[in-house]
A and B are shown apart, each in its own frame.
Chain A
Amino acid sequence: MKEPVLSVLSLATCLSIACAPSQEATRVELAVAVDGGQLVDAPTDLGWTIHLDAARVATGDLEFTIQGEMHALARLWDLLVPPAIAHPGHYAGGDVTGALPGSFVLDWIAGDGVELGRAELLTGNYHGCNIAFRRADELPADDPLAGHTAQFAGTATKDGQELAFTAILDLDVGASVIGAPFDLDVDEASDDTLGVQLRLHDDVSGAALFDGVDFAALDPGDGSPVTIGPGDPAHNLVRRALQSHVFYTVAPL
């Protein structure tokens, strides 16, 4: 007797206000691929023109962020205080609303156009992408990238002098690119393929990925290529630059 009465009362109160159930945010799936279209030869601050024949970076999850109603300068705080922990009732710094989880090797030369997978995104106006670095421990030992984070090979040219080089970079656990530009309004009808781009030179800031590296000074002089590896001063320069968001873009293909 009691239960039916309560149910009727409950139903009545519900009907009286047209009770609305909770509503989850709308989600879409978009393909993500490597896009080498922006990887063109570019100069450094020391006058070297870089051409790449290999550009591979081992990454973990890719996260896509919306600025939402955060004022642009607020992002500084987000970057200063890394933990982005969501919490009831409050805005979480770095509003991640899309992700492609997994382990990838982004190969902008040989793997240009390769699909990495399908990312899940909430609809919204996107402004950024975070890329987590990792060590490529799963690769065979004879792969130059095995156990490392990034591998670059190519030539540096200046005043008629051309030097071949290879760079193997190790980034710390937890290192990531925060806020790579990704400007796209994603709605329910979106079906774009998102291209992850790398560039050697940022036209806005004027920075280049190999800024500060004097290839001539590193030339062993025996005809073998210049090598940049962990422990070298040049390694630290390039490693730091590799974490800068200005060298990455995510854009629809």
Chain B
Amino acid sequence: MLRAFALLAVLAAPAGAAAHDVPKDRRYATVVVSDRSPRTASQRTVGPAEIAASPRRRSADDLLRLVPGVLLIQHGAEGKGQQMFMRGFDAAHGADIEIKVAGVTVNELSNIHGQGYVDLGFVIPEVVRRVTANKGPFLLDQGNFANAGTIRFDLGVDPDARGSRVSYEFGSTLRHRGVFVHAPKNMAKETFFAVEAMTDRGFAAARGAQRATFLGQIRLLDSKTHGALDLTAGVYAAKFDAPGAVRADDVASGRVDFDGVYRDDGGGRSNRLFTALRHQLDLGVGKLEQRLHGQLRALDLVEDFTGYLLDPIAGDRRNQRHRFASLGYQLEYRRPLHRTVELLAGGAWQGDLVRQHDVRVDVRHEVVSRNWDLGAGQHQAHARAGIRWRPVDRFVLEAGARLDLMAYDVRDRIDPDRHARKVLALPSPRINASVRLAPFATLFFAYGRGLRAPEARAVLGGAAVPEDTALDRYRGGPARIVASDSVEVGTRFQHRELVSAGLALFGTWIDRELVFDHVSAVNIELNRTRRLGLDFDLAVWPRRWLQLRQDVSLVQARFVESGAPVPLAPPFMSATGLTLVHPSGFRAGARFLVVGSRALPHGARTSAYALLDLSLGYRVGPLQLDLQIDNVTNAHWKEGEYHYASWWDRSEPRSTIPTLHFLAGPPLTARIGATLWL
């Protein structure tokens, strides 16, 4: 298949060779992103111009930052999945944010490092056409992990940006990144071939990263009778460091630098083979879309966050290995039932084979003890049905339900007698409605139930009861699907293509939140929580080439009975942005992000911080120059802050009492890039 892609790329090359005669930057005619029919008040679409001009775009992960209210924390180096937060959820590595690439959910059920682990390293930012965020679980096609919402990456290259280009980027962290994109002008916007290679030494010790990626998509068929057929394929290999966190008291006493590390042997490797085949067919009285997809994944990690706390001799390094193969099929069908009513139906199945182990290793990374080693087969399936009712132009109602099914067959490879099978199901009603009050104002309402399936390891647990455990207090519970109920009401004002403003008030309630601590291998069930908040956004387009944005997210995430805050969830985020793509060839992006102090466990709190990122670019003829500056003010900031126990200095007494730890955020860094349009 890769050969076929390469051959197609070579054959199509002449078609793109004439692109260099474009005198000015006409790739983006406008920065205006006018989503004419948003389905909820908080829906946000980030268009190609904003993506291309955005600052801090090192990888596809960074494009998530363009979604208002999304906070990312990298507690490894670039290449490790980021910790994500949205709408009062600490989604860890993706447990509560569903992420789709080319229509395929990339959250990994039962990943050893975190439920729903998301690694977007295989997505090359230059071929992301659009990022769409649907906050909350209000749409019928939002599935597992969408408690906080769904973010979709559409791949492709828009007509204005098609052609062939080769880019090289050099960064102040000794970063080298090369990209080649070939998007034949005579082919559909879905078709492209892209190759990326990157190496980066990082801003401090143990922050290095390397990756190589191929990603391609081709429209194989575009026929009125047989429909459109798109093949997407990607190959990705990455290597990255894992610095771990440092104790705040050690930094204060000068034992370790602000951006220092205790050990420099942590890190990991991530590999992926991704493919999807999408078929779209217009049936005349209905539309059919089906997708067949498959993935092969490998993830290896060595991390240590606690020093010698657990093993005073060999240390607490953990090696996690995850192997994952999946095959899936999706079907979506819609057809009008009446002049005002449309049927929405669909379903999907995905089957995975998982093999994973978690071991404690010593300084030579040799196994000291095995924590777990299991093999699992798992299935995710759902069926959904609903209607879209539009009795009058100004009112639209979508209502329906989906039934999600999860099935597991898990075998413990350390103790072969431990074997469990489980089937779980959850129905989820979804409804959203919009009323256009005036040509420029629309009111929205939405309700939906979100879900997060348990991971395979949780299915194995709970069978035995410790002999000394009083069952009246510690009644064990089986693995189950976590359900959340969310509502959102809001409004959006859109005046032509000059201004757009939205306000969404939301609430999410979870009766019993199940959190899997992937390092301690503990499934923890939490008390009832509720999250109340608002998202506000304002976009102004004084010119078609200039966008000014202000996004504000406020969330109060609390445990209902105690009133205590949900740890780590950011209560306040503000992003002020500018996107400029001038026809003269000049372009710029700026983003000023403010993140409020977050509650940590046990009454501790993180610091608040503000970051300013800039990007500048100019295109003259076939040459485009770019400059990106992250953290322009060189703020001394802590990207990740945590509260837990560790023991690094064995000359000091061991203490199991939690204390502040943090990971330094990158200081001022700059990257210059040149792109040659061939």
Contacts and interface: CB of A to CB of B under 8 A. Distances in A.
Interface of A: 6, 9-10, 12-14, 16-27, 61, 63, 66, 68-81, 83-93, 95-99, 101, 120-124, 178, 204-205, 240, 243-246
Contacts of A66: 602
B505 interface: no
Given A83-B521, A86-B644, A91 B601 contact: yes
Contacts of A120: 655, 657
B656 A63 contact: yes
A10 B636 CA distance: 9
A25 B607 contact: no
Contacts of B109: none
Contact of A25 (B90, B608, B643): B643
A99 B656 CA distance: 7
A34 B306 CA distance: 31
B475 A96 contact: no
Nearest to A80: B461
Contact of B608 (A19, A95, A97, A205): A19
Contacts of A20: 596-597, 605, 607-608
B107 interface: no
Interface in B507-534: 512, 515, 517-527
B254 interface: no
B646 interface: yes
A23 B599 CA distance: 9
Given A13-B612, A96-B656, A79 B470 contact: no
Given A70-B524, A96-B656, A88 B640 contact: yes
Contact of A74 (B523, B603, B640): B523
Contacts of B526: 69-71, 74, 91
Nearest to A123: B603
A77 B605 contact: no
A240 B469 CA distance: 12
B554 interface: no
Nearest to A61: B656
Interface stretch (B232-240, B386-394, B660-668): B660-668
Nearest to B561: A69
A86 B310 CA distance: 10
Interface stretch (B166-174, B430-438, B627-635): B627-635
A27 B602 CA distance: 10
Given A13-B610, A101-B653, 17 more contacts: A17-B594, A22-B248, A22-B662, A61-B654, A69-B562, A74-B524, A81-B521, A85-B309, A85-B316, A86-B305, A88-B661, A90-B515, A92-B519, A99-B656, A101-B655, A205-B470, A244-B468
A86 B462 CA distance: 21
A87 to B, nearest CB: 4
Chain B: interface secondary structure? loop
Q: Among A23, A178, A205, find the residue whose CB has the most chain B CB atoms closer than 10 A.
A: A23
B657 A99 contact: yes
A68 B603 CA distance: 11
B45 interface: no
B601 A68 contact: yes
Contacts of A178: 468
Contacts of B592: 13
A71 B517 contact: no
Contact of A69 (B472, B559, B594): B559
Interface of B: 73, 75, 83, 90, 92, 245, 248, 305-306, 309-310, 316, 371, 461-462, 464-470, 472-477, 512, 515, 517-527, 559, 562, 564, 567-568, 592, 594, 596-597, 600-612, 632-636, 638, 640-646, 653-663, 668
Nearest to A27: B657
Given A89-B73, A98-B657, A99-B655, A245 B305 contact: no
A248 B610 CA distance: 50
A101 B653 CA distance: 8
B564 A69 contact: yes
A93 B610 contact: no
Nearest to B309: A85
Instruction: Among A13, A63, A123, find the residue whose CB has the most chain B CB atoms closer than 10 A.
Output: A13
Contact of A10 (B524, B606, B635): B635
Contact of A92 (B472, B517, B600): B517
Contact of B525 (A16, A22, A71): A71
Nearest to A120: B657
A12 B662 CA distance: 24
User: Which among A12, A68, A70, A95 has the greatest number of chain B C-beta atoms within 10 A?
Assistant: A68
Contact of A73 (B477, B522, B645, B646): B477
B634 A10 contact: yes
Contacts of A97: 602, 657-658
A84 B607 contact: no
A83 B645 CA distance: 13
A93 to B, nearest CB: 3
Nearest to A240: B467
A69 B527 contact: yes
B462 A14 contact: no
Give the top 7 A-B pairs by smallest Cβ distance, nearest first: A86-B644, A93-B522, A87-B519, A88-B642, A244-B468, A74-B525, A76-B476
Given A70-B526, A89-B90, A84 B466 contact: no
Nearest to A11: B633
A32 B507 CA distance: 45
A22 B592 CA distance: 21
A81 B515 CA distance: 15
A153 B206 CA distance: 58
14 contacts: A19-B607, A20-B596, A22-B662, A25-B604, A61-B656, A68-B601, A71-B526, A74-B524, A77-B476, A86-B643, A88-B305, A97-B657, A98-B657, A205-B470
Contact of B606 (A18, A22, A27): A22
B401 to A, nearest CB: 28
A20 B632 CA distance: 20
B608 A10 contact: no
Contacts of A14: 610, 635
Contact of B603 (A69, A124, A240): A124
B658 A86 contact: yes
Contacts of A81: 461, 520-522
Contacts of A78: 522, 524
A26 B603 contact: yes
A69 B526 CA distance: 5
A70 B528 CA distance: 10
B310 A25 contact: no
A2 to B, nearest CB: 10
Contacts of A16: 594, 610
A76 B475 contact: yes
A111 to B, nearest CB: 23
Contact of A96 (B248, B567, B632, B657): B657
A90 B641 contact: no
B604 A87 contact: no
A113 to B, nearest CB: 26
Nearest to A13: B610
A244 B466 CA distance: 10
Nearest to A18: B608
Contact of A122 (B520, B607, B658): B658
Given A78-B522, A240-B467, A87 B474 contact: no
Contacts of A99: 655-657
A76 B469 contact: yes
Given A25-B604, A87-B517, A77 B522 contact: yes
